[in-house]
Amino acid sequence: MDAHPRLTASLSRWYQRPTRPERDAKPPSYKRFSAKMDPTNILAASADSHPLIDLDMTVFVQLVIFLIASFVASRSLFRPYLRMRDDRAAGIEGAREEASAMSAQADAQLADYEQKLAGARSRAQEERRNLRAEAGAHEREVLDKTRAEAADALNKAQADIASQTEKARTELAPRADEIARAMASKLLGREVA
């Protein structure tokens, strides 16, 4: 019933190892250890026992099973996994390229926007200077016109005052003596001759 008598014999010896107190009672000696490791004992033991690896038909069956298992694993596990990794790497690389293209496009748009903004600012400053110049010219024109009108009105008023003064003098000159006596009598409180 035992397929491998040597295996069962070695297992039975392993199970029959002495317990710890028994091992401590008989410490291993160097001579016993060196005798076990003697090359002549090793060669003699290998010549007497069965070979370590038996080469029979099971090796070929195991080889066929291994080849079938590796083929199935390659088809169902390794290739899909490697394809998925390649697709993922390609997707990541594509996303990186797309991100760098979008970044370059955004930089170009930003530069264009800044250029347009600078142009608009310079046009606004030029327009502001023109409006200030026009406002200054209009202000000077209005001030000059107002000054001229004020000077004309002043000259006209002075001319009116001068004409009214002359008219009053001509009217009051014949009566001047009479008015002067009336004023003096009022001031002095008596009649002046």
Higher per-residue pLDDT: 117 or 175: 117
Is residue 139 pLDDT above 60, yes or no? yes
Distances (CA, A) of 132 to 120, 140, 143, 148: 18, 12, 16, 24
What pLDDT sits at residue 86? Answer: 94
Joined together, the tokens standing for residue 149 give 């009108």
3 state SS for the chain: CCCCHHHHHHHHHHHCCCCHHHHHHCCCCHHHHHHHCCHHHHHHHHHHCCCCCCCCHHHHHHHHHHHHHHHHHHHHHHHHHHHHHHHHHHHHHHHHHHHHHHHHHHHHHHHHHHHHHHHHHHHHHHHHHHHHHHHHHHHHHHHHHHHHHHHHHHHHHHHHHHHHHHHHHHHHCCCHHHHHHHHHHHHHCCCCC
Is residue 12 pLDDT above 60, yes or no? no
Considering the entire predicted model, what is its pTM? 0.36
What pLDDT sits at residue 141? Answer: 92
What pLDDT sits at residue 187? Answer: 85
What pLDDT sits at residue 1? Answer: 46
Is residue 14 pLDDT above 60, yes or no? no
Residue 3 in any domain: the answer is no
Residue 88 in any domain: the answer is yes
Residue 100 in any domain: the answer is yes
Residue 181 in any domain: the answer is no
Residue 182 in any domain: the answer is no
Q: Confidence band (pLDDT; 50, 70, 90) for 43?
A: low
Is residue 78 pLDDT above 70, yes or no? yes
What pLDDT sits at residue 66? Answer: 96
Residue 176 in any domain: the answer is no
Residue 147 in any domain: the answer is yes
Total domains present in the chain: 1
Joined together, the tokens standing for residue 137 give 């010219």
Mean pLDDT of the chain: 80
Which domain, by its residues, includes 23?
Answer: 8-49+61-161
What pLDDT sits at residue 16? Answer: 55
Cβ proximity of 41 and 35 under 8 Å: yes
Is residue 176 pLDDT above 70, yes or no? yes
In tens, the pLDDT along 140-170 reads 999 999 999 999 999 999 999 999 888 888 8
